[in-house]
A and B are shown apart, each in its own frame.
Chain A
Amino acid sequence: MWTFFHKLGSPPWLYAISGSILRWLLPVTILALAVGLLWGLLFTAPDFRQGNSYRIIYIHVPAAVVALAGYYVMAIAGAISLIWKMKMADVAMKSAAPIGAALTFIALVTGAIWGKPTWGTWWVWDARITSMLILLFLYLGVVALYEAYDNKEAAGKACAVLSLVGTVNIPIIYKSVDWWYSLHQPASIKFTGESTIDPSMLYPLLLMITAFYALFTCCLLMNMRSELLKREARTNWVRKLALGGAQA
């Protein structure tokens, strides 16, 4: 069992195994995304209240869910690199940050676009959207902190500490904003009441959520591979790779 973890700490092994995972995961992800998108766009009935604009749910909710989960993936990877000093864990953490930020961006933009026909305004300071915005800031903070450090090993450690601080902070922020919203706005707008979602709409949503998780994993592995190559540029296995033609 421990040999598995030891192997995980070895860059060429990690590069090889991520390559073989991607070889099947990437096509599966793209297929799942395509099926889910078409299903949601064309093959589900329009919502009773919102009409066709509710179809944005099939990208907004998966993006938001994976963006939040991604932060925890990043924080856990950071914790592993900090506590057990596993070198590859901070590669994972560094690779996860821009993906999470991009997904949060998607969630915010699609949420705003969804809000216009539904509530009449582009932006509503409700609990969910405000928390998503703060999540974007947290992600961007990690990215900025990593770039600011010249010594990349220290950068990884600093970002690990920051991600952990953010992890403690996220529930506090969410609860505070939730409470703040209920104070300033009587809960007339509650699109979280979609827990009574019709099954015919639920299944494509679940598929899309799964597809987005798979997408996150693919992007994470691809980013990690690229980062590994950069870090190990002076080693033999990378040189052989470069000279043997840039095959993934």
Chain B
Amino acid sequence: MARTAGSDPERQPPGALAFCLRLLRRQLVLAVRRPIEIGNPLLFFAMVVALFPLGLGPAPDKLAGFAPGILWIIALLSNLLTSDAVFRGDFEDGSLEQLLLSPQPLYLSVLAYIAAHWLMTGLLLALVSPLFAVMLNLPGGALGALVLSLLLGSAVLSLVGCIGAALTVGLKRGGMLISLLILPLYMPVLIFGSAAVQAAVNGSAAGPYLAILGAMLCLAVALAPLAIAAGLRISIDA
């Protein structure tokens, strides 16, 4: 925050929603200034997609059989890699501490961070996924389910991933710890996300599974920011 409202005594501090949107815009601008960091998860996705045929053999029907799971697992891992950095930059230069002191509710500010993260990773991953799905011989009819499941699911992944990020942001030797914390939270999303795609491959409706992902998203939006806010306070005070 280069200039807070307090520097201009005439202005009122922005309302919660305006603050949240401003924060979101800031995060997006910061992210866009480093296009490499946006490209990294996508590049990771691409390279790991290549790893699976290298490991399993290029037989098209085998790849197609595993494609829903493979695509979802890689999306999950990409998300995991980027989760660590969500709060770290602002923690290190003190902006996070400023955020905690601001009068706006932390719940919404945290949502801004998460939304920015999702827009820069999950959304892009979901849009790019059909390309890699085709490389893994996923049947065309399942592409829609894939994109939708990734859109919903990656939002949940961002939300729960940031819980781990908030709890470990202050730690010097965080490293693999965030993975240990977040992966159990990722598992239900993986189960239903890949099930949605698998259902579409088999010809049955993916709707119910997408609905369950939607329900998880609602639960995560309601509860995760509370845990994240608590985690941030603990990390700052530590």
Contacts and interface: CB of A to CB of B under 8 A. Distances in A.
A161 B180 contact: no
Interface string A6-42: 0000000000000000000000000000000000000
A137 to B, nearest CB: 5
A138 B184 contact: yes
Interface string B161-174: 00100011011011
A154 B216 contact: no
B188 A148 contact: no
Contacts of A137: 180, 183-184
A176 interface: yes
A10 B171 CA distance: 30
Given A144-B177, A149-B171, A176 B187 contact: yes
Interface string A164-178: 111011001101110
Interface string B201-238: 00000000000000010010001000100110011011
A154 B227 contact: no
B181 A162 contact: yes
B146 interface: no
Chain A contact residues: helix, strand, loop or mixed: helix
B234 A161 contact: yes
Contacts of A148: 168, 171, 173-174, 177
A102 interface: no
Task: Give the size range of A's interface with the partner.
Answer: 20 to 34
A135 B228 CA distance: 22
B157 to A, nearest CB: 14
A203 interface: no
B93 to A, nearest CB: 20
B119 interface: no
Interface in A140-193: 140-141, 144-145, 148-151, 154, 157-158, 161-162, 164-166, 168-169, 172-173, 175-177, 179-180, 183
B191 interface: yes
Nearest to A181: B191
A229 interface: no
Given A134-B184, A169-B185, A154 B195 contact: no
Nearest to A142: B181
Given A137-B184, A154-B238, A145 B167 contact: yes
20 contacts: A82-B230, A137-B184, A141-B181, A145-B167, A145-B181, A148-B168, A149-B170, A151-B238, A154-B170, A154-B235, A154-B237, A157-B234, A161-B167, A161-B227, A161-B234, A162-B181, A165-B185, A173-B188, A176-B192, A180-B191
Interface of A: 82, 134, 137-138, 140-141, 144-145, 148-151, 154, 157-158, 161-162, 164-166, 168-169, 172-173, 175-177, 179-180, 183
By Cβ-Cβ distance, the 6 closest A-B pairs, closest first, are: A154-B238, A176-B188, A176-B191, A180-B191, A151-B238, A157-B234
